[in-house]
């Protein structure tokens, strides 16, 4: 959890520069990628984090360090964002990397806005999350720190296969595994889904069934969960024949599993426990 100084620094910086990032259009893709690269550099160099967050060090010195870090080829707005961040006070040195990553995700969201694919990316992230729920071994490998980042990314793309995912979805999914940031993979994907949902002003409700939902079922689920959450929802319908029957519904971190498979697994555990 971020301390008060970091929360204030993050909020003020984002209030100041997020509109500029939103208006950067096509360049938001480049800026987001540059900020992800900087996040990775910060995460792997605590001395650099300390140098950029030291309150006793002149801001001009810290800006000079940033210029050395990102070079002359970086987008001017990337430099402006980092210059603003190093001028703030942070509760912990690692919080500047968190803020940099947040700006990177914002860049990806604003690029998705620019290309009219925001909802598509949100749905695809939910589909990836849903697919991984039944693949615990794959999940564990995606955030295994003993496995090189290149191998984890290769595993990710072998999982995605021929899925025609948007390039923003792929980049976010790749970022989640090549820069683990002490998080489990599903936790990061859910965090990204939540950010996109807040950005769109609606919640993502992922419903997994053995057969496609009818329009009547979708409308009913929208009514139920809009009333439950207090704001609009989008139903992401995932078809998985292996669930046999029933529904698995996920809203944020909350999962309600009423599928036949889940009930059979529960029955099996109960029998074993009483044997």
Mark which of 114, 129, 160 sits at the end of a domain.
Answer: 114
Same domain, 9 and 107: yes
With the CA atoms of 19, 25, 26 and 29 taken in that order, what torsion angle do they form, in degrees rounded to the nearest 10? 20
Contact 45, 120 (CB under 8 A): no
| DSSP character at residue 242 | G
> 169 or 203: which carries more pLDDT confidence?
169
- The stretch 15-43 carries a mean pLDDT of 96
Is residue 53 in some structural domain?
A: yes
Q: Where are the beta strands (DSSP E) in the chain?
A: 203-209, 233-239, 248-251, 254-257
The pLDDT of residue 263 = 66
The pLDDT of residue 9 = 92
The pLDDT of residue 125 = 93
Q: Cα–Cα distance between 36 and 78 in angstroms, integer? A: 11
Q: Label residue 169 by pLDDT band (50, 70, 90).
A: very high
Q: How far apart are the first and last CA of the chain?
A: 44
The pLDDT of residue 176 = 94
How many percent of the chain have pLDDT more than 70? Answer: 93
Same domain, 10 and 107: yes
The pLDDT of residue 271 = 61
Is residue 186 in some structural domain?
A: no
Is residue 184 in some structural domain?
A: no
The number of beta carbons lying within 10 Å of the beta carbon of residue 36 is: 23
The pLDDT of residue 66 = 94
- The stretch 228-239 carries a mean pLDDT of 84
Provide the number of structural domains found in the chain: 2
Is residue 141 in some structural domain?
A: no
Is residue 259 in some structural domain?
A: yes
Q: Cα–Cα distance between 169 and 107 in angstroms, integer? A: 13
Is pLDDT of 273 > 70? Answer: no
Mark which of 72, 94, 114 sits at the end of a domain.
Answer: 114
The DSSP annotation for 82-104 comes to HHHHHTS--SSTTHHHHHHHHHH
Domain limits for position 61: 4-114
Is residue 120 in some structural domain?
A: no
The pLDDT of residue 30 = 98
Q: Label residue 225 by pLDDT band (50, 70, 90).
A: confident
1-15, 68-82, 185-199, 249-263: least confidently modelled range: 249-263
Is residue 226 in some structural domain?
A: yes
Mark which of 114, 141, 168 sits at the end of a domain.
Answer: 114
Q: Which long-range contacts (CB under 8 A, 24 or more apart) does 216-221 make?
A: 221/249
Q: Cα–Cα distance between 173 and 185 in angstroms, integer? A: 9
Contact 171, 125 (CB under 8 A): no
Q: How many residues does the chain have?
A: 275
The pLDDT of residue 241 = 80
**Residue 175 corresponds to which tokens in the numbers above?**
């970022």
Is residue 121 in some structural domain?
A: no
pTM of the model: 0.82
């Amino acid at each position: 959890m971020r301390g008060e100084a970091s929360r204030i620094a993050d909020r003020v910086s984002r209030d100041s520069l997020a509109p500029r990032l939103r208006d950067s259009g096509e360049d938001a893709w480049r800026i987001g990628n540059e900020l992800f690269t900087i996040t990775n550099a910060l995460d792997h160099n605590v001395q650099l984090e300390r140098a950029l967050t030291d309150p006793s060090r002149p801001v001009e010195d810290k800006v000079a360090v940033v210029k050395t870090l990102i070079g002359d080829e970086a987008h001017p707005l990337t430099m402006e964002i980092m210059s603003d961040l190093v001028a703030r006070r942070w509760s912990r040195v690692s919080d500047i990397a968190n803020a940099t990553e947040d700006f990177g995700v914002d860049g990806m969201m604003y690029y998705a806005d620019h290309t009219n694919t925001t909802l598509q990316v949100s749905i695809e992230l939910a589909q990836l999350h849903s697919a991984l729920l039944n693949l615990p071994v794959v999940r564990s490998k995606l955030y295994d720190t003993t496995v090189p980042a290149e191998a984890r990314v290769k595993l990710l793309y072998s999982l995605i296969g021929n899925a025609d995912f948007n390039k923003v979805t792929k980049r976010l999914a790749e970022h989640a595994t090549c820069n683990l940031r002490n998080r489990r993979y599903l936790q990061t994907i859910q965090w990204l889904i939540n950010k996109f949902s807040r950005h769109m002003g609606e919640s993502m409700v992922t419903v997994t069934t053995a057969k496609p939902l009818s329009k009547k079922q979708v409308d009913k689920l929208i009514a139920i969960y809009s009333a439950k959450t207090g704001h609009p929802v989008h139903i992401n319908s995932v078809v998985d024949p292996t669930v046999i029957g029933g529904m698995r519904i996920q809203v944020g971190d909350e999962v309600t599993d009423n599928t036949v498979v889940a009930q059979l697994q529960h029955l099996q555990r109960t029998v074993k426990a009483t044997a």
